[in-house]
Amino acid sequence: MKIYLEPTTAEWDSLVQRPLIDQGPLQKTVSKILQQVRAKGDTAVKVLTKKHDGFTVRKLLVSEKELKDAERKIPVDLQQAILRAYQNITKFHSQQIEVTRKIETSEGVYCWRKSVPMERVGFYIPGGTAPLFSTVLMLGIPAQIAGCKQIVLSTPAAKDGHVHPAILYAASLVGIKEIYKAGGAQAVAAMAYGTASVKKVDKIFGPGNQYVTAAKQLVQLDGIAIDMPAGPSEVCVIADETSIPAFVAADLLAQAEHGPDSQVMLVSNNQQVVQDTLNEIEKQLPQLDRKSIAEKALQNSKAILLGNTESVVAFVNQYAAEHLIIASDEPQQYVDGIVHAGSVFIGNYTPESAGDYASGTNHTLPTNGYARAYSGVSVDSFVKKITYQQISKNGISKLGNTIVLMAEAEGLQAHANAVKIRLN
């Protein structure tokens, strides 16, 4: 982890920069995969699955029996943990339902908006080394609360053709019955364009490798909605003299174990805390299973030492972190100043892991500085907010002239006529 001592604000621009990935060649490869699936449907999905994921799939759809068997394959204590997380996430997200309020904007003119669930949504859940059943909850719970009736899940099976039972268990908790054994860009293509076995969805959610990410961005050009653009996961920790270095080190390592491209930042106004944290990392790192991954991530990581609290807040805002931990006993001095972040973890006893699994907030968050303009996944992500207006005969007679004047000034006479004809 490289230490930067009081960099000037001119230097901040490069410090907050995420590694640039040249999307050109990747997009070409992924475009080809999308084309294949559009042309050959399920056959292409199966061939590409064999080629890229190394397993032969006869039937893409997970059977009812596989779904039923999942529950007894999960240890009871893990089941209880998943249920507890389910409850907290449900409690938090249930507050996000918008109530419809009818407003009389002017005499006889009534307007309102109503949240209507999307009809059919698709989740991409990575398989591989880590079976991300927590992401099934994070996408499935807000979808369920929104009222989505058709939820499709696509995930690569292991080489033996099985989907991890924890993914199936989490899926059945949130009411998902339609699960396909397909991964990578081909899975995204199947959900985006539809095949004989997978019906086209309206919006695609979920994390994935760079192929999945590129596929999501490309299908968006064809009008399929996606949750948000994505980059490698990242954390930024604010530390000060009230931080506990062992905790900060553990939080940084938790992020670093995600992948070699994970982004880890430590920002502080206290040199001693930074040094103590780095020492703690040295102590904790050797004990990790995913030590070599974390080590690589730490090589690109930065510890930034700044002169005062104001600079710390300004810097973390410019970074716009996916996860921002305020590791302090006096976090309030920072909280109100934060304007760009995905999710904020406040105080020494709020590790990022809590939000990843069970505090109740969503862990699908904007990376790569996208927190400047994007929010994390919520119930909002699964509804369209349709607006309505109903105007009485008296209402249009009172408001009509306003509309006519504006339409005519914009040179749209037929727009004006549509009102005039109702006034006569």
CB-wise, 61 or 246, nearer to its own copies? 246
CB-wise, 58 or 393, nearer to its own copies? 393
Distance of CA 404 to the CA centre of its chain: 44
Closest CA to 156 of 48, 36, 37: 48
What's the CA gap between 284 and 16, in Å, rounded?
26
**At 159, is the secondary structure helix, strand, or coil?**
coil
CB-wise, 47 or 194, nearer to its own copies? 194
What's the CA gap between 114 and 99, in Å, rounded?
8
Contacts of 413 (CB under 8 A, 6+ apart): 407
CB-wise, 57 or 170, nearer to its own copies? 170
CB 58 to its own copies: min, Å: 28
52 counts as catalytic: no
Beta strands in 88-206 (DSSP E): 103-106, 109-117, 120-124, 150-155, 178-181, 203-205
**At 142, is the secondary structure helix, strand, or coil?**
helix
**At 336, is the secondary structure helix, strand, or coil?**
coil
CB 209 to its own copies: min, Å: 16
Task: Please tell me which residue in 164, 323, 352, 363 is annotated as part of the active site.
Answer: 323
Tokens representing 372 are 């400047």
What's the CA gap between 176 and 66, in Å, rounded?
13
CB 407 to its own copies: min, Å: 6
322 counts as catalytic: yes
CB 290 to its own copies: min, Å: 7
CB-wise, 60 or 212, nearer to its own copies? 212
Contacts of 142 (CB under 8 A, 6+ apart): 93, 96, 362, 377, 378, 379, 381, 382
CB 229 to its own copies: min, Å: 6
Closest CA to 377 of 322, 313, 340: 322
Look at strands 2-5 and 302-305 and give their pairing: parallel
CB 47 to its own copies: min, Å: 26
Task: Please tell me which residue in 258, 322, 352, 363 is annotated as part of the active site.
Answer: 322
CB-wise, 57 or 124, nearer to its own copies? 124
By annotation, the residues acting in catalysis are 322-323
